[in-house]
Structure 1
Amino acid sequence: MQKPSLPKGTRDFGPMQMARRTFILDTIKDTFQLFGYQQIETPAMENLSTLTGKYGDEGDQLLFKVLNSGDFLKDVNASDLEKGSSSVLSKVSEKGLRYDLTVPFARYVVMNRNELTFPFKRFQIQPVWRADRPQKGRYREFYQCDADVVGTDSLVCEAEIVLMIRRVFEKLGLRDYSIKINNRKILTGISEAIGESGKEGPLCVAIDKLDKIGWEKVKEELTQRGFGNESLEKLAPLVALQSDLNGKFEFLKHFLRDSEMGLKGVKELEETFEILKQMGENLDHIDFDIMLARGLTYYTGAIFEVKVHHVSIGSVSGGGRYDNLTGVFGLSGVSGVGFSFGVDRLYDVMDELNLFPKETHTSTRLLLTYFDQQGFQYALGLLNQFRDAGIKTEIFPNQAKIQKQFDFANKKGIPFVGVCGEEEINSQQIAVKNMNSGEQTKLTIPEAVQKLT
């Protein structure tokens, strides 16, 4: 007999995990809707032509490809095999599982542009798939919660992203975290300032790994990518820079003095922070990180990454502005900005910090119990009265000793038990027992409803 198993990097979610995940998802969804975002969904599969070339070379390698149905090798010949996997792939696979929600969203915008009202604010909560090496906090199947605005280049959108992140974290009980912010234009300016104009792509891919592998390893990678020693010496002071917000701005204005693009990025960040102040907000939890890069190639402006301190998990949220993501699908000049929460990583962080409310562990508030067939029938007649009042109620389905029914309630975390005995039937009442305190009170049905709501 074959032993059942799961593909690596995927997981089952039991009732407790689902209750906790729902708590996170509902908090995020409520925040997105509060800020005026509308929900959409896109298919799990996209055409590979939609996905490839949007995430950089490393991202393309992590795409899950779906084999064509039927005889998927029918168009492959010996010469294709000699040319290698890239030649074979186009003939055996036309579709892939989505890598993120942003590129499918861009495709959606282009296909539905005549029906949408711009600026268009959408949110999307769906799973994505990446053929990554599974490890703690990194899965091959995981949920993303995206919020994007397209059709405007207003920096109010960047400011509101900060506000949404802070609101979600407050509701989830997360207090010790940093919202790292930078601007891709600044990174373009840095590549120009160190004498490596046009190499901002490889620069971003390399320095995006600073937190993981350190400066020495990043230098080795940059050298392999063709960056000279003089360029690395010019870059080093930026990597080592320790200063407050104003100090970083002043340093960059001097460092990027000959880069029009770089200075534009500095100005955009300054304006974003000023908008937050005009909205009556402070800059708590904001960390202007000059070396924040984010590896995805479609970002062109502000970029975000959120990390919770003193936990073993990496970033839990990230995003940025993209000026022309829809251009590859035939709709140019549509600027957008968005970000995503990693639900699975947020779950792991909250679990590590023991932040989940106890009431998320079960959906049932009241279990109706009984001693005999007469009590069972009486309890059946009460079920809808409690449910109609909005109280999540269930009945123990099999006749069993009352202690077994109590044990069931305890194991399932049900806080109240309604006992339907002979006295309760005769008086048309119910004995409500608090399973935490052990206190038991005989009440009329309206009184019990009032107590439990």
Structure 2
Amino acid sequence: MSKSKPSLPRGTRDFGPEISAKRSFIIDQIKQNFIKYGFSQLQTPAMENLSTLTGKYGDEGDQLLFKILNSGDYLNKATAEDYSAGSKQLTPKIADKGLRYDLTVPFARFVVMNQNEISFPFKRFQIQPVWRADRPQKGRYREFYQCDADIVGSKAIWNEAELTLLINDVFNDLNLDDYIIKVNHRDILFMLAAHVGLSEKTIAFCAEIDKLDKIGKEKVIENVISLGGDNDKVSEVMELISITNRQELIQKVKSIDSENQGVKEIISYFETLDRFKEKIIKVELDLSLARGLSYYTGVIYEVKPTSVSMGSICGGGRYDNLTGFFGLNGISGIGISFGLDRIYDVLEELKLFPEDITKPLDVLIVHFSEENLKHGQEVVMKLRADGIKADLYPDSDKMKKQFNYADKIKTPYTLVIGDNEMDSGQYMLKNMQSGEQKPMNLDKIIQHFKG
């Protein structure tokens, strides 16, 4: 029997030590800021009931859900008629669970199930993998991590501003300057749809506007007019969208309908951010932004790198009605999600990871004999007790092999233990890059690594 060559499912990846260290660096920076801003951590199961997931992401999102076959004889409830009727009728008979598509819907489910134990407003963060049955391509995977922060139980515009400040702090801590935070408001998009005569086709209008950077201005105008939009008003809206000066743009939008809730909230949002003049916040109002997930109801965010060809690396928005799917009405929420995998790709391409991030050790202990090895076991534990990243070569091999191993794992220092070192308490500390070495007692070695 021939052995098959091992492989991975498309759109998934292994992460070796170096990549894992870099990913942990990103997670640590994001997590520290989540905690700094007062968010509490949650975790939810990898799988949810399909009834929880379906109908929350639109028809396209439902198609991208990974379904899990029922355990045991999963076909026992299916009939020949179910097969002939197609997947929509068959699927509920053979699969009642699926892998989570994002972290927001499971969070809404958690809020509803635990509403009597939660104090509102409730701020949570969650860093876990999600799965989408998408076509793999650059920056798009079938398994990837999301790093979410959400606030539920408050409609204050401060929440929108606070999440923007959080985004700003995270990317500052990651040393990423080449990005822009784009914001818009769904009520403004609906207002523009009504302005061009498409109040009954707002979703279709938003979908066309969202294609602006993909198919260009002229094609978008053509498509919106074909939906039934007024020619002159469509051209007027497209000119409006092209305005880059924020104050001018807000005044133009305000002139269409100054009582529009979205206009009022966007004005308040920018007034709040403008109070933090010491922070350089890279945010702009972009009326072409129309994020596709159907549950957004207010301010929407998208963060894109400006010097790397990559999709959004962070996004989110307000979702006033999400918990209503699960029977809890009147709970407003807003959240953002950092795309760990895309952020990794951006930092890697721009060479922004700290140089010492993948250094697994401060020092490797090498030895001449079995007795030296036993002594090294005590030394390595003393070094570790003082917070030094130390390891001990575990076998009594020749010194050449041990030093070759030290080179391969790129440890910056080795500590040599022989009989003389055991007797004197003076250990030879060798710089593996320069070759310089000098005898030092354990206290001085510890001081050396602690700086």
| Interval of TM-score (by shorter of Structure 1 and Structure 2) | over 0.9
Q: Is 1:251 matched with 2:248?
A: no
> What is the aligned partner in structure 2 of residue 209 from structure 1?
211
**1:150-169 map, 5 Å:** 150-169=152-171
> What is the aligned partner in structure 1 of residue 331 from structure 2?
334
> What is the aligned partner in structure 2 of residue 131 from structure 1?
133
Partner SS for 2:307: coil
2-side partners of 1:284 and 1:119: how far apart?
Answer: 25
Identity %: 51
Contact 1:361–1:413 under 8 Å retained in 2:
no
Give the superposition deviation at 1:279. 4.2
Partner SS for 2:200: coil
Moved more, 421-430 or 157-166: 421-430
Contact 1:190–1:256 under 8 Å retained in 2:
no
Contact 2:197–2:228 under 8 Å retained in 1:
no
Contact 1:273–1:283 under 8 Å retained in 2:
no
Moved more, 32-41 or 410-419: 410-419
2-side partners of 1:210 and 1:122: how far apart?
Answer: 34
Q: Is 1:190 matched with 2:192?
A: yes
1-side partners of 2:297 and 2:370: how far apart?
Answer: 70
Contact 2:221–2:235 under 8 Å retained in 1:
no
Moved more, 74-83 or 185-194: 74-83
> What is the aligned partner in structure 2 of residue 238 from structure 1?
240
2-side partners of 1:216 and 1:80: how far apart?
Answer: 46
> What is the aligned partner in structure 1 of residue 60 from structure 2?
58
Give the superposition deviation at 1:167. 1.1
2-side partners of 1:61 and 1:242: how far apart?
Answer: 36
State the Cα deviation string for residues 113-139 of structure 1 (Å, max 9, x = none).
000011000000000001111001100
Q: Which runs of 5+ in 2 are unaligned?
A: none
Q: Kindly tell me: are residues 375 and 176 of structure 1, through their superposed partners in 2, closer, same or farther at Cα, counting changes over 3 Å? A: same
CA-based RMSD of the aligned residues comes to: 1.8
TM-score (norm 2): 0.94
Amino acid at match of 2:372: G
Q: Kindly tell me: are residues 268 and 282 of structure 1, through their superposed partners in 2, closer, same or farther at Cα, counting changes over 3 Å? A: farther
> What is the aligned partner in structure 2 of residue 352 from structure 1?
349
Q: Is 1:363 matched with 2:364?
A: no
Moved more, 342-351 or 202-211: 202-211
Q: Is 1:446 matched with 2:448?
A: no
Give the superposition deviation at 1:248. 0.9
Pick from 275, 278, 284 the counterpart of residue 272 of structure 2: 275
> What is the aligned partner in structure 2 of residue 295 from structure 1?
292
TM-score (norm 1): 0.94
Q: Kindly tell me: are residues 172 and 436 of structure 1, through their superposed partners in 2, closer, same or farther at Cα, counting changes over 3 Å? A: farther
2-side partners of 1:332 and 1:398: how far apart?
Answer: 64
Partner SS for 1:297: coil
2-side partners of 1:78 and 1:222: how far apart?
Answer: 44
Partner SS for 1:368: strand
2-side partners of 1:73 and 1:234: how far apart?
Answer: 57
> What is the aligned partner in structure 2 of residue 77 from structure 1?
79
Partner SS for 1:364: coil
Give the superposition deviation at 1:426. 2.2
Contact 2:196–2:229 under 8 Å retained in 1:
no
Q: Is 1:3 matched with 2:43?
A: no
Q: Is 1:398 matched with 2:400?
A: no
State the Cα deviation string for residues 127-174 of structure 1 (Å, max 9, x = none).
000111100110000000000000001111111111111111111110
1-side partners of 2:228 and 2:447: how far apart?
Answer: 71
State the Cα deviation string for residues 34-55 of structure 1 (Å, max 9, x = none).
0000000111111111111111
> What is the aligned partner in structure 1 of residue 414 from structure 2?
417
Moved more, 313-322 or 278-287: 278-287
Partner SS for 2:169: helix
Q: Which runs of 5+ in 1 are unaligned?
A: none
Q: Is 1:320 matched with 2:322?
A: no
Contact 2:198–2:205 under 8 Å retained in 1:
no
Amino acid at match of 1:60: D
> What is the aligned partner in structure 2 of residue 91 from structure 1?
93
Moved more, 96-105 or 78-87: 78-87
Q: Kindly tell me: are residues 316 and 284 of structure 1, through their superposed partners in 2, closer, same or farther at Cα, counting changes over 3 Å? A: same
Amino acid at match of 1:252: V
